Structure 1
């Protein structure tokens, strides 16, 4: 089966291959909570296959939609997960799967040489504290073309204030130019670039000007910024991670960010 491409219906991830199966949606729940987690949760797995088979001389296969995500006892946290995963708090995983498989079935009926479509969405708890929930959504999908796409997207939620968080909530906006300057220093070190070496030839930065993505994760000792494929490098180079130690940017962080970091560092390790 071929690599997949991100679609409008879901954010998806995975390397699993699917053999042909009946057109049913299957769900499975697996406990994943640990002693350090504030909210108890389990992971739910769901997969739906198309009934339309694509046969070759070597294999028989079909399109599928697969998703996994944490389910909490807290309804507000669950709405956050659903919206982060699907982009819509009114769409269920089952509805997104039916839409994706339905589009494939229409494509199958109209194409003389149809290709398998695949879509996988996997949301995992990246960080959790008494007041904060961070998700990492790993995504990949394929609906035709030379290759598929994949992405990792981080989403953040303040459990205390019941609101989504962005970079502006973590780093004071008036300090973000300084954040970018610190980040560029680490980026150049990581990429073995000189202080004045141009970024125009090997990277996709607009006008050769370094910039940070909005896609970030909060870790106990650093902020992780993730550039997905095509953002700053060709597809073949994949994703680029850039970590900036908190010690270098502590003065730029908001009080909320400092609170979350303190909670991450005071959790008892299992």
Structure 2
């Protein structure tokens, strides 16, 4: 009898432990080229990185921090590589600066110094959802630089990424709803083709960016330069109020 009671209490405690929210904390961090040894006696291009780091539950925080760091390392890649070989932010920034020095030595009359601005900010937090806004802007020669804004949605209980499909009950239905909002915002009538004005959606069909940002009040979709329009048009933002999108969301 006592054994059965003890087992029941043990199972209850385990169940309670499984249902507890993961305790994680988020702190702001920063890095600049001034922290690098290579820049002590050399004029270096500016590298400014502002990001967040997650602490607390080790397994969860490591997963999230790995995703954030990979974005930063990937943003500093120059050349044809698509996957970062650097293991640390310092190493990636050093590689960016060394690439600039090599290009400057090869082309002494090169106008303008390279620079990199990278940021990762937490813009939404709930018990089952974290959203990070991830921005990068690099200038590596030419007429202008190029930047992007994307979003990273995370389950704070597991540290796993929440796919866009997992955030909506029916992605296709929401896309049709979002197109109406986009047309209203851009003053494109329902009987016009989506590309009849300045846009160049592939196959003349409206689609959403790959990632979605969440705030307390809105969903944010950002088409980066060249995604659906020219560089001169700049990033194009579609913002939808949470109250309007709520019927399509699978999370609170």
TM-score (norm 1): 0.70
In terms of mean alpha carbon deviation, does 125-134 or 81-90 score higher? 81-90
Aligned alpha-carbon RMSD (Å): 2.2
Deviation of the 1:210 alpha carbon: 1.0
State how far apart, in whole Å, the 1-side matches of 2:72 and 2:131 are.
12
Query: Is structure 2 residue 31 aligned with structure 1 residue 43?
Result: no
Unaligned runs of 5+ in 2: 1-22, 75-83
Question: Which residue of 69, 78, 84 maps to 2:65?
Answer: 78
Aligned to 1:236: 232
Q: How does 1:1-270 map to 2 (within 5 A)?
A: 39-48=24-33, 50=39, 52-53=42-43, 62-74=44-56, 75-76=61-62, 77-87=64-74, 91-114=87-110, 115-172=112-169, 175-201=170-196, 202-254=198-250, 257-258=251-252
Unaligned runs of 5+ in 1: 1-37, 54-61, 259-270
Residue aligned with 1:180, SS: helix
Rate the CA distance shift 1:41–1:230 in 2: closer, same or farther, 3 A. Answer: same
Number of residue pairs matched?
Answer: 209
Aligned to 2:16: none
**Which protein is bigger by CA-based radius of gyration?**
2
Deviation of the 1:52 alpha carbon: 4.9
State how far apart, in whole Å, the 2-side matches of 1:168 and 1:90 are.
31
Cα displacement string for residues 159-212 of structure 1 (whole angstroms, at most 9, x for unaligned residues): 11221112011014xx22211110111011101111111222410101221111
Deviation of the 1:146 alpha carbon: 0.9
Contact residue 73 and residue 86 of structure 2 kept, 8 A: no
State how far apart, in whole Å, the 1-side matches of 2:99 and 2:93 are.
10
State how far apart, in whole Å, the 1-side matches of 2:142 and 2:32 are.
23
Contact residue 86 and residue 92 of structure 2 kept, 8 A: no
